[in-house]
A and B are shown apart, each in its own frame.
Chain A
Amino acid sequence: MATLLHHIQHDHIHISAPLALDSGQNLPELTIAYQSYGTLNADKSNAILICHALTGDQYVASNHPATGKEGWWVRMVGPGKPIDTDKYFVICSNVLGSCLGTTGPASINPATGQPYAMSFPVITIADMVRAQAKLIDHLGIDQLHAVVGGSMGGMQTLVWTVNYPQRLRSAIVIASAARHSAQNIAFHEVGRQAIMADPHWQDGNFYASGLNPTKGLAVARMAAHITYLSEEGLTEKFGRRLQARDIKSFGFDADFQIESYLRYQGLAFTDRFDANAYLYITRAMDYYDLAEPYEGRLALAFSKAKDVRFTLVSFDTDWLYPTSESRRIVQALQGAGASASFVELSSPFGHDSFLLDCPPLDRLIAGALNNRG
């Protein structure tokens, strides 16, 4: 539950200076919660920043404090893993607007002593990156060896290359896009409306009431979860199989396994996520269009990023951020004269492929991170 969630302690830094946001508003102060793995070397040249996805968190390779589950990318990050913590100092921070310790709508507004709720300023992906840059400053790192991210993490990674091109040597962008499409925005709007339609949401001021908009948030998660999977994967995993019964109930129980699965996923999500954070982060993603400040010309956005080595990966069954979106980025990079690598990998798992077992992805990431000899 959200209230429980907000009592967890996270490793963090606190910055008392205001953070200027894209909206023109300022955040009066900023807390950034983060995890790090491995050791920063003497010349501070081995740092890798991992950017997490919409509902991800900083616990990339350590157990989640609320759910106890293992980190979301343990298969990729650790000693001897593709992102090798014996070699690299790996940093992952909770994004601005989220709910795992970094300032977000559930945080206390110092001006009122109450949670911000919907008075929290609307943020952008670039604002998230701005906050990450503050953390990197705090750690005394001038240039990151790499920034790596999948999905919304890939969007942050791309913003790093555009807004701070001199502060990273390479960028690895997985299953991501340079803008949110109408379809992407549409799915997010369904999720937001589900949250706002829950009477427990109370215009966002649910924190003190003891009531949480868990039903709305669960429905939002259910709708989003479908977009993370492929039809092929769903058919293979669930088909039309019934859940713990032999015949249809002629009622509205979760007759089908897929219904039961989605209901479980939706409910489990509410234990680890704040409904308002979900509103704010999905909004940030919808506002994201890397080319917008450059007259819609993506190649122009990358014009200062020629020294960054880009690696992009898409998955053939990902219809949320399809290969065509990655190709668009690659073409812009080619147009800008940047060094780009790109491959579409085959995987049955849809958008979620980047989180699951995909051995070619491991090899690619390890290779792209390696210093070129």
Chain B
Amino acid sequence: MTLRTDLAIIADAVPEGRRVLDVGCGDGTLLSALRRNRNVDARGLELDAAKVTAAIAAGESVVQGDANHDLDAYPDDAFDFAILSQTLQTTERPDLVIEQLLRIAPRAFVSFPNFAHWRVRWSLMRNGRMPVTRLIPVAWYETPNIHHLTISDFRHLMVERNIRVENAWFLSGGRLISDSAANWRAEHAIYQIARS
């Protein structure tokens, strides 16, 4: 099975044999890849019962739960890496969720759609309406994305909260691009962050 590009990048960046929590793990595709290919002790948290069922049926360790409320149960440093993929913008308090990720694990991968991509900016400027694009495909009234953010927003939050950025990857059209003018050019960003 081929992984979504952002998941493949994260899967490649996790060292062998570590303990990983994937928050919002869906049907466990990344967990399965990490466990099979990199001998990772991979566990997941997912809200949707059907996806949790699929993941458990596939042999993964997944707990039904919510990034907003259910990260409390994990002790400090329970994992080496926490992963939050395409979920940050759906949480009630993204800053507190990041705080929790870096409590549970010293390092985290966080990926999100970039609301400052030129296509989004253009769509908003031209139409004066909330953009609907490939990565933001749902209309404003039914989107789960309640906290849209840009790459610049994320960078600022990292500085403000004294969180170290260890690595970053930017995607456009499903391909890696350079980090120059990423806030204009990237549809999607993946950050590897760590406690300072």
Contacts and interface: CB of A to CB of B under 8 A. Distances in A.
Contacts of B36: 373
B103 interface: no
A344 B59 contact: no
B91 interface: no
B10 interface: no
B97 interface: no
A335 B63 contact: no
Contacts of A370: 59
Nearest to B19: A337
Contacts of A337: 75, 78
Nearest to A363: B57
Contacts of A372: 35, 59
Given A343-B56, A345-B49, A367-B56, A334 B61 contact: no
Contacts of A340: 61, 63
B75 A309 contact: no
A231 to B, nearest CB: 21
B74 A334 contact: yes
Sorting the interface of chain A by its residue count into under 10, 10 to 19, 20 to 34 or 35 or more gives 20 to 34
B61 A309 contact: yes
Interface residues of B, number: 24
A341 B4 CA distance: 24
B62 interface: yes
B73 A330 contact: yes
A264 B73 CA distance: 45
A368 B49 contact: no
A373 B65 CA distance: 26
A263 B157 CA distance: 65
Given A343-B64, A363-B54, 11 more contacts: A334-B63, A334-B73, A339-B41, A339-B61, A341-B52, A341-B55, A342-B52, A342-B64, A342-B65, A345-B53, A370-B59
What 8 A-B pairs have minimum CB-CB distances, sorted nearest first?
A367-B57, A331-B73, A363-B57, A334-B73, A343-B52, A343-B64, A342-B63, A360-B53
